[in-house]
Structure formats: C-alpha cells, structure tokens
Amino acid sequence: MTQIHVSTTINGDAVEFLCEAQETLLDVLRDRLGLTGAKEGCGTGDCGACSVTLDKRLVCSCLVLGAEVEGREITTIEGMADGEILHPLQQKFLEHAALQCGICTPGILVAAKALLEKNPDPTETETRYWLAGNLCRCTGYDKIIRAVMDAAEQMRGA
C-alpha cells in the first residue's frame, strides 16, 4: 500500500510523516510520532481522551485522518506547558486534585484550554457543557470543574 506523505505543524514544530490512508491522526501521533499524551478511550469520538486542536478547533484526533492534516496546525497536550512552566490549567488541576487516574486528563486540559481561549469567563454550566464530550469516570467532575473555573479566574487576573 502506498503511503501518504504529510507535512504539518505540531506544537509549533514542522513535522513530516508517512501514513496509510485509513490511519487516524491519533494513530499517527501515538504510533508514528511518539506523542502518546493523547489517549484512545473509545476510537469513536465519544470520550474525548484524544482531544487535540486542529487549526485552533477542538477535535477528537480519533475522528481525523492523518492524511487530512497536510498544512494544518495541531496542538497536543505535549505543547501545553512552556518548558518547565506549567499552563495555569495544569497547575490548577494539580492543586485541586482534579485527576485521579489521569487517563482523561490530557484531553480535558486541551479541551479546557480551548474553552478559555474562546470564553475567558465561563459559567459553571457553560464549562460543564463544553466538557461534556470528555468522559471522566473517577472524579465525578466536581474538582475538574472547580479547577477550570479557578484557572479561568487566575488567567483573567493575569
């Protein structure tokens, strides 16, 4: 099978890869590029654990073909911290104990960052609906919502 050559930008870096037509962006990130921060919880867009942004839009990378990202800009959880400085959301997730097992955490952080870029002052209800596509089975969401709201407040003050 002929592989497809793709040039793209991931977390600000120019990246080239080869993939097969049916490979998803999630497959490419995890299996070809070693970016295993995005997780596969369902493969059908129902859990949000593979969330990344594609040209600044929040998407499930399991529902994007690798071949589609030619010339696009992708950000993943690996691009969220600035060197050793954590993003305020990452810091607040730690402070609020907003993760238990941590498998949903990368996807939720990517999704929450997209929320705060669009809406710096979300209500609790807006936050809950925005994150409804990110399943968490451990926390009951309470501390996640608190962490996002707290990070939003801090970022507004910054």
Neighbours of 90 (CB within 10 A): 20
CB of 136 to another protein, least distance (A): 7
The residues, ordered by sequence, that sit 6+ positions from 6 with a Cβ below 8 Å of its Cβ are: 16, 17, 18, 19, 28, 66, 67, 69, 70
What backbone phi and psi angles, to 5 degrees, belong to 152? Answer: -60, -45
Residue 81 vs 120, nearer CB to another protein: 81
Residue 114 vs 152, nearer CB to another protein: 114
CB of 117 to another protein, least distance (A): 12
Bridge partners of 78, per DSSP, are none
Residue 14 vs 71, nearer CB to another protein: 71
Cα separation of 39 and 30, whole Å? 8
Helix or strand (DSSP H, E) at 65: none
CB of 150 to another protein, least distance (A): 13
CA atoms within 13 A on the CB side of 79: 15
CB of 135 to another protein, least distance (A): 6
Residue 8 vs 90, nearer CB to another protein: 90
CB of 14 to another protein, least distance (A): 20
Helix or strand (DSSP H, E) at 129: helix 124-130
DSSP 85: B
